[in-house]
Amino acid sequence: MTALLEVRGARIETLGGRTLIDGLRLSLSCEHVALVGRNGVGKSTLLSVLAGLTPHDHVHHTCITHLVPQTLDADGAAMSPGELRRTRLEEARLSGADILLLDEPTSDLDDAAVAWLGGWLRHFRGGVVVVSHDRRLLGGMQHFFWLRESGCRYFAGSLAELDAEQAHEATESELRYLRSMNALAEKEERTLHLQRRKARKKQYGRSRELARCTSRARLNLKRSEAQVSHGKAAQTREARVALVREFTRTTREALAVRLPLVLTMPPALLDAERVAIVGPNGAGKTTWLRGLLRTLDPSRVGELSQNGENWMKDESLVSELSARAPDTSPERLAQLLVAHRFPLGLAERPLRSLSPGERVRAALICLFVQSPAVDTLVLDEPTFSLDQLGRTALIEALAAWPRNLYVATHDHDVLRAGFARTVTLTKSDRGSSLRC
């Protein structure tokens, strides 16, 4: 079958110059492919390149593409995020494009809209590339582009088979990490051994020289030559150890850390409320949360809007944590990031430069560790675009939160985090109604 879109040895970078993909080769015709990978590996950037929004000499189109991006512009339309996304997906369906490029198409959609999307995608005759973490959508796929720090590879099989392959690779990554740590420890032990041996030789040499009655000038000359030689050796040794440390750090960033979530939670509030707000698109969940926020003390509330838009900051996660928890040591901050499974290499980048999923995770870490602790968390679709690792960590953290919690969500797994009350909003011809 003739390829509609080809990529021949492309190198794709972020605006800051960080390499995401190098030497990418792919060919696409009318296949339906899911582009998967953890938050921040470059899925949205790659989709933009394939759509032609980011010109690239190594990408060749012989077809019409239509991109539905992850972040949508309402253009002044008075629609909920879910209604807006469904409208954009309907426009894509009717666009006549040969290849549809859909970035997190199920975000903000209720169950009925997800079923509608999956239904017409199954009957779409053109090519489809879907970036998604939604297992409801990925469950029907048989072709995957698996994007990782080490590159992009094609995987043919079911979602369960892909899960097994990812688990196997994570285990191998952990083994490589442990081997590199052991090698580093052995190298440092060898370095200390050499230093001790040189110290003994130096002391022995001084004793012999004194016995020979060597002149002080001659002793000083020998000592100077030895210091220069030892200094060069130390610089070489330190450079090698630094390289090993850098390799270990890079490996650590790619490592899927599976640790129990260890968090220092604030004291529990008496009669704390845990409320889930659910309902179809357009029922008014976001409006309900905004009304709640107007009744609360802003200084005692931690808020996360959809897509983490209220966290589009120039500050990094590390600087935000240092400001919100000033008594926390750097070592403790690193432990918090590992406990939340947040990639250490992303913690020093500006929050606005992170992907939506990464930014949501970073914002939640800040809210959990803020001192003094907030009394209430108000979260609007907190699992928006999170990968499976991030979703698992978030749900564990929400289940452990001991204070007031209000969450608007379509995610059934989030609802299992333990809510005492559910507010269900329903649409009617006269507007929205409420049922508790």
Surface-to-core class of residue 226, CB atoms within 10 Å of its CB (0-12 exposed, 13-18 middle, 19+ buried): middle
Q: What pLDDT does 429 receive?
A: 43
- Joined together, the tokens standing for residue 430 give 């006269």
Phi/psi at 301 (5° precision): -120, 135
Phi/psi at 321 (5° precision): -65, -40
Look at residue 35 and give its three-state secondary structure. Answer: strand
Q: What pLDDT does 253 receive?
A: 43
- Write down the architecture of domain 274-435 according to CATH: 3-Layer(aba) Sandwich (3.40)
pLDDT digits (tens, 9 = 90+) for 346-394: 788 899 888 777 888 888 888 888 888 899 999 998 887 777 777 877 8
Q: What does the domain layout of the chain look like in residue ranges?
A: 5-157, 171-254, 274-435
Better-predicted residue by pLDDT, 92 or 217: 92
Strands 151-156 and 143-148: antiparallel
Separation of alpha carbons 32 and 365, rounded Å:
36
Q: Is the pLDDT of residue 282 over 80?
A: yes
Q: Are 380 and 82 in contact (CB under 8 A)?
A: no
pLDDT digits (tens, 9 = 90+) for 206-265: 666 556 665 666 666 666 666 556 556 666 666 655 544 554 454 444 344 444 445 567
- Joined together, the tokens standing for residue 170 give 């994570």
Q: What percent of the chain has pLDDT over 70?
A: 77
For the segment 256-279, the average pLDDT, to the nearest whole number, is 74
E-strand stretches of 309-430: 376-380, 404-408, 421-428
Equal CATH topology for 5-157 and 274-435: yes
Give the CATH H-level superfamily of domain 5-157. P-loop containing nucleotide triphosphate hydrolases (3.40.50.300)
